[in-house]
Amino acid sequence: MSFLPFYVPRHKQLKIVIAGGGYAGIAALVTFLRHMPNADITIVDPRSHHLKITHLHETFRYPLEDFLVPFSVLEDRFGCHHVCAPLIPEECNLRQWQNDKFLTVNNEMLEFDYLLITSGSAVAQMDKADNIVDLHDFMAAPGSSLLDGLLDTSVKGERSISVVGGGATGIQFLFEIAYFLRRQKIESKLRLIHDADRVLNQFTTGFSTYTQARMADLDIDFYPDTHYYGQRADTILLEENETGRKFNLPSAMSFLFLGKKPETFLFANAFGQVMIEQNPLQNIFTAGDCSSYHSFGSNTMTAQSAVRKGKLAARNILRHSGSLKLLEPYLHRDLGYVVSLGPTEAVGWLALEGNVVGGVPALLIKEVVEAQYDLLLAGIDTYLI
């Protein structure tokens, strides 16, 4: 059992329920078992598997199964228990769970000493025609089959494909689609529609300049400051933000990447305890995209922030269960961020947001970060904090 500062155990075994089996939930699970190997842990998640969602754009090259880890495998590996069900942490439920120290899911009563809510973010959805694809579709089928299947039903000759959304997710899918079309020798015109004046506008201009230059190299059309209204048959409906001019473009299929919107959003103090009416729920913590910590730490909806929050919440639950109850504030700041630009290139920043790194070095950074999480899934924690 690893040493945890300010943790003086009082309990030989804690009963812990983790609501959500994404990045934050898995990071918490491994952290609990690192410091309390005999903890009784139940994961409540509506899926049958843990999904490495940050890899979904790679399903144009690899099978979807490569990025799915069945919870049954995690049960065997970590000795935890998985309940396949959603959990709705509304305020009235939270208060009741805090008082009762149990919750009921699928007619099963789950007693707990601590509840950790790590629900992720839902993908923003709109009404879709048959030739529209969003991130939900990639969770059920690989990109290669989605693109092949839809294009097989289209008219012959050059077809237009639209990607809507120039954030990190949209950009990663845009480049994977571009390289897939080249590999398959599919005649198609690819374009990007984005509401802002530059791609990756949440980062410094160096990100945008580098990425848009690579887009030009691949002959990808770019429509900045353009709002997506919908798809009608083989036509995409758009409007210029500045002038209000509405126009249509041919589009055999459109990929929508409209961002994240948490179904559950919980405010927490600096230690990860859920706050209701400015009072912390002593035995209910939160982490992941659904959480906003009142601290100096990063609340970005990224996998690295989710992992750090999950690890911190787990450490603080253990400390809270001990004799000292000295909790650690959340102070994590992102040390970098990398966006994939296809199979052989990436762009990112390291240490300082203005320190833009492109090409193979950025791709290597991304691979190191992903390998670190794969080790965590195997039960090997190489994160320094």
The answer as to whether 2 is a domain residue is no
- 274 and 244, same structural domain? no
Average pLDDT score over residue span 146-168: 79
- 288 and 299, same structural domain? yes
Contacts with 313 (C-beta within 8 Å, 6 or more apart), sequence order: 24, 28, 116, 118, 272, 285, 286, 287
Q: Which of 228, 259, 290 is the last residue of a domain?
A: 259
Average pLDDT score over residue span 115-132: 76
- 154 and 72, same structural domain? no
The answer as to whether 41 is a domain residue is yes
Domain count, the chain: 3
- 246 and 128, same structural domain? yes
The answer as to whether 115 is a domain residue is yes
- 180 and 105, same structural domain? no
Q: What is the pTM of this model?
A: 0.93
- 247 and 155, same structural domain? yes
- 102 and 218, same structural domain? no
Q: Cα–Cα distance between 385 and 383 in angstroms, integer?
A: 6
pLDDT at 156 over 80: no
pLDDT recorded at residue 125: 54
Q: Which of 259, 278, 308 is the last residue of a domain?
A: 259
- 268 and 185, same structural domain? no
pLDDT recorded at residue 1: 64
pLDDT digits (tens, 9 = 90+) for 246-291: 999 999 999 999 876 666 789 999 999 999 999 999 999 999 999 9
In sequence order, the β-bridge partners of residue 285 are 116, 273
pLDDT digits (tens, 9 = 90+) for 293-339: 999 999 998 999 999 999 999 999 999 999 999 999 999 988 889 99
Q: The domain containing residue 235 runs over which residues?
A: 124-259
Asked if 55 and 68 touch (Cβ cutoff 8 Å), the reply is: no
- 238 and 152, same structural domain? yes
pLDDT recorded at residue 157: 62
pLDDT digits (tens, 9 = 90+) for 173-212: 999 999 999 999 888 999 999 999 999 999 999 999 999 9
**3-state secondary structure string across 157-209:** CCEEEEEECCCHHHHHHHHHHHHHHHHCCCCEEEEEECCCCCCCCCCCHHHHH
The answer as to whether 6 is a domain residue is no
Distances from the Cα of 278 to the Cα of 73, 168, 269, angstroms: 39, 34, 9
In sequence order, the β-bridge partners of residue 268 are 274, 293
Q: What CATH number did the domain enclosing 70 receive?
A: 3.50.50.60
Q: Which of 224, 241, 259 is the last residue of a domain?
A: 259
pLDDT at 155 over 80: no
> Order of strands across the sheet with 336-340?
336-340, 346-350, 352-358
- 249 and 145, same structural domain? yes
- 270 and 307, same structural domain? yes
The answer as to whether 8 is a domain residue is no
pLDDT at 353 over 90: no
Q: What angle do CA 162, 164, 170 make, to 5 degrees?
A: 105
The answer as to whether 58 is a domain residue is yes
The answer as to whether 100 is a domain residue is yes
Q: How confident is the model at residue 384 (pLDDT cuts 50, 70, 90)?
A: confident
Asked if 355 and 149 touch (Cβ cutoff 8 Å), the reply is: no
- 108 and 78, same structural domain? yes
Q: What is the DSSP string of 306-351?
A: HHHHHHHHHHHHHHHHSSS--PPP------EEEEE-STT-EEEEES
Contacts with 210 (C-beta within 8 Å, 6 or more apart), sequence order: 347, 356, 358
Q: How confident is the model at residue 148 (pLDDT cuts 50, 70, 90)?
A: confident
φ, ψ of residue 174 to 5 degrees: the values are -55, -50
Contacts with 3 (C-beta within 8 Å, 6 or more apart), sequence order: none
pLDDT recorded at residue 186: 87
The answer as to whether 205 is a domain residue is yes
